[in-house]
A and B are shown apart, each in its own frame.
Chain A
Amino acid sequence: DIVMNQSPDSLAVSLGERATINCKSSQSVLHSSINKNYIAWYQQKPGQPPKLLIYWASTRESGVPDRFSGSGSVTDFTLTISSLQAEDAAVYYCQQYYRPPRTFGQGTRVEIK
């Protein structure tokens, strides 16, 4: 299995400040022939299903605010919230969908400072 490790487990950020979440995979998730990284990022608020934010490591899903961005390649990835808003308080998960089982990171809780 590809193991996904997120850091930090939690962080507190002031409104309007930047939040950065890291995700590291135990194996490459880069499909070199098409040059795509099979990484997705989800946001989950209490009592709700996760919501897809980013896929192919850096493609924003339709309707997702542009303060959310993804970057990285091969085994190291980052989700950045450029200017944290109150509604961004949530748990964020990365997922590799390169190989089954399509594993998730353990989650990072983002709180407002």
Chain B
Amino acid sequence: QVQLQQWGSGLLKPSETLSLTCAVSGESFSDSDSYWSWIRQAPGKGLEWIGEIHRGGSTIYNPSLKSRVTISRDTSNSQFFLRLSSVTAADTAVYYCARGLQTAWELAGYWGRGTLVTVSS
């Protein structure tokens, strides 16, 4: 069974860079046919798709965040990463990592538990 464990910086000041890690277990990360994504949820709000990384390493980002977002991966350690630069209070949210299904790569079939990131001076 695929499991996602995530961690990272929980409290940031404005203008700092958010960094999160998602570790994948229960499968061979480098052999998996799927997409891995990051999704966030501001307090009391809905879900916002941030972007995804594909098996070959290519990435797609939400245009609303594209200038500040980087998603990368380390296949040898079965991890993928989110970096979001120049954060503001508007970036305060629970950040989730997710993985698609074998039959539907693009959606979020498996989820991490979420990491609350608070941006405050």
Q: How far is the CA of A61 from the CA of B109 in the complex (A)?
A: 9
Q: How far is the CA of A38 from the CA of B104 in the complex (A)?
A: 9
Q: How far is the CA of A51 from the CA of B114 in the complex (A)?
A: 13
In the complex, residue of chain A having the shortest beta-carbon distance to the beta carbon of B37: A102
CB-CB contacts of B40-76 with A at 8 A, as 1s and 0s? 0000001111011000000011111000000000000
In the complex, residue of chain A having the shortest beta-carbon distance to the beta carbon of B47: A104
Cβ-defined contact, A38 with B63, below 8 A: no
Cβ-defined contact, A49 with B107, below 8 A: no
| Interface residue tally for chain B (C-beta within 8 Å) | 23
**Is the interface on chain A under 10, 10 to 19, 20 to 34, or 35 or more residues?**
20 to 34
Cβ-defined contact, B107 with A95, below 8 A: yes
| Contact of A50 (CB < 8 Å), options: B48, B62, B106, B108 | B108
Asked whether A100 and B47 contact (CB < 8 A) given A50-B108, A55-B107, the answer is no
Residues of chain B touching chain A, judged by Cβ–Cβ distance below 8 Å, are 37, 46-49, 51-52, 60-64, 96, 101, 104, 106-109, 111-114
